[in-house]
């Protein structure tokens, strides 16, 4: 059974690096032409300093980091006075997958984000790994489709 907790990025950064690299290789790289991986830890630390980052961690019984859900928090430009929490990364190590683990992790994150004043959560998932059923189970509604185009 995994335990979920809110943890500062700056405290779990070193432990998270292997998971973020695995996340990139498994999910993101194929969508970006197998672009090289590079975690911008300084930017995450800065977002944390500004109160604009939330990380919910999933830990195995031995205390090892098994996954994370990271969100950025910004004032919603379309709804005045609303704080938007946008999912930046969701990943569970293969051994931590199955059952309702992802659902539990995101429910934990939502409760913590609500405590921080977030009124709206924006979920996304790569086209190659749709999470529609998971997000619907959380009570989210499909409102947008996002497309990316590189300009460089």
pLDDT digits (tens, 9 = 90+) for 87-105: 999 999 999 998 899 999 9
Q: How many CA atoms lie within 13 A of 121 on its CB side?
A: 25
User: What is the pLDDT at residue 84?
Assistant: 96
Tell me the domains of the chain and their CATH numbers.
3-137 (3.40.630.30)
Question: Three-state secondary structure along 43-101?
Answer: HHHHHHHCCCEEEEEEECCCCCEEEEEEEEEEECCCCCCCEEEEEEEEEECHHHCCCCH
Task: Look at strands 53-59 and 65-75 and give their pairing.
Answer: antiparallel
Q: How confident is the model at residue 27 (pLDDT cuts 50, 70, 90)?
A: confident
| Residue 147 predicted with pLDDT over 80 | yes
Question: What six digits make up the tokens of 123?
Answer: 């979920």
CA dist 80 and 54 (Å) reads 21
Condensed to tens digits (0 to 9), the pLDDT of residues 98-144 reads 889 999 999 999 999 999 999 999 999 888 888 999 999 999 999 98
Of the candidates 85, 73, 13, the residue with the CA atom closest to the CA atom of residue 45: 13
**Average pLDDT value for residue range 31-57:** 89
Give residue 14's pLDDT.
94
Task: Determine the Cα–Cα distance for residues 43 and 45; give it in Å rounded to an integer.
Answer: 5
Question: According to the model, what pLDDT value does residue 71 have?
Answer: 98
Residue 36 has pLDDT above 80, yes or no: no
């Amino acid at each position: 059974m995994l335990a979920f907790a809110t943890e500062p990025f700056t405290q779990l950064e070193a432990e998270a690096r292997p998971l973020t690299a695995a996340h990139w290789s498994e999910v993101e790289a194929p969508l970006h032409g197998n672009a090289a991986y590079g975690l911008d830890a300084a930017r995450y630390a800065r977002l944390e300093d500004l109160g604009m980052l939330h990380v919910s961690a999933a830990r195995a019984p031995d205390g090892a980091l098994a996954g994370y859900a990271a969100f950025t928090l910004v004032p919603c430009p379309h709804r005045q006075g609303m704080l938007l929490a946008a999912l930046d990364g969701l990943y569970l190590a293969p051994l931590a997958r199955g059952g309702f683990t992802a659902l539990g992790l995101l429910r934990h994150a939502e409760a913590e984000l609500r405590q921080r004043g977030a009124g709206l959560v924006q979920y996304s998932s790569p086209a190659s790994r749709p999470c529609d059923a998971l997000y619907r189970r959380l009570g989210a509604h499909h409102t947008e489709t996002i497309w990316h185009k590189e300009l460089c």
